[in-house]
Amino acid sequence: MKPSLLHLNDEVAAALREGRAVVALESTIITHGMPFPANLETARGVETVVRENGAVPATIAVVAGKIKVGLGDTELEKLAAAKDVVKASGRDLAAIMVGGGSAGTTVSATMRIAALAGIDIFATGGVGGVHRGAEATFDISADLTELGQTGTTVVCA
C-alpha cells in the first residue's frame, strides 16, 4: 500500500515528525463492539487515557474510502453513530476504499496501517485467535498472521 493512501490528521503527523509518542487504536470497538452512545464515550475515554499518559492517540478507520490515522471528534462521532459501516480486516481494505465505504478496522488491519504510518505501539482490548471448531471451519483470526508479519508492538488485555 502506498503511504500516500494514508491520511494522517495534523496532530498525529506532527507527533510522528517530532518523534513524540503515538498510540494506534482500532475502531471496530466503536463500529461493532458497543451501542451508541456508549461506543463514543468509550472511544473518547480511551483517547483521554492515552493523552494523560503523554502520547497522542491515533484511532484508525476507513472513512468515505480514505484510510484515516487519527480521527477528529466529528469523525469519531459520525463513525460511532453510523449504521452502514462494515468491519475491515487487512484483506478488505482495498475493496472498501474503492467503493468509497467506511469501516471500523480490526486488530489486523489496524496493525498493518499503524506500521505503514510509522506508529510502533498499538493498544487494543484483545486479539483474535483460533476459534473453537477451527478444525472444521478454519475460523482462524487474521490477527495471528498479522502479529507474525508486522513489527508493531501490540498491548492488549
Look over the chain and give the mean of its residue pLDDT values, rounded to a whole number: 90
End-to-end alpha carbon distance in the chain: 29
Q: What average pLDDT does range 137-156 have in this prediction? A: 77
Interatomic CA distance for residues 111 and 48, integer angstroms? 21
Structural domain that includes position 146: 3-156
- Return the pLDDT at 147: 75
- Give residue-wise pLDDT tens across range 26-68: 999 999 999 999 999 999 999 999 999 999 999 999 999 999 9
Q: What average pLDDT does range 64-88 have in this prediction? A: 95
Yes or no: say if 70 and 11 are a contact pair by the CB < 8 Å rule: yes
Q: For residue 85, what is the DSSP state?
A: P
Structural Rg of the chain based on CA atoms: 15
- Give residue-wise pLDDT tens across range 93-124: 999 999 999 999 999 999 999 999 999 999 99
- Return the pLDDT at 122: 95
Q: What average pLDDT does range 131-151 have in this prediction? A: 72
- Return the pLDDT at 5: 82
CATH number of domain containing 39: 3.40.1790.10
User: What are the grid coordinates assigned to 77, written together?
Assistant: 462521532
Q: Which residues pair with 23 in a beta bridge?
A: 57, 121
Q: For residue 36, what is the DSSP state?
A: T
Q: What average pLDDT does range 125-136 have in this prediction? A: 70
Q: What average pLDDT does range 112-137 have in this prediction? A: 83
Record the pTM.
0.90
- Return the pLDDT at 127: 72
Q: What are the C-alpha distances in Å from 107 to residues 18, 26, 82, 88, 152?
A: 26, 6, 20, 9, 11
Q: Helices in 55-100 by DSSP H: which ranges?
A: 73-81, 93-98
- Look at the chain and report how many structural domains it folds into: 1
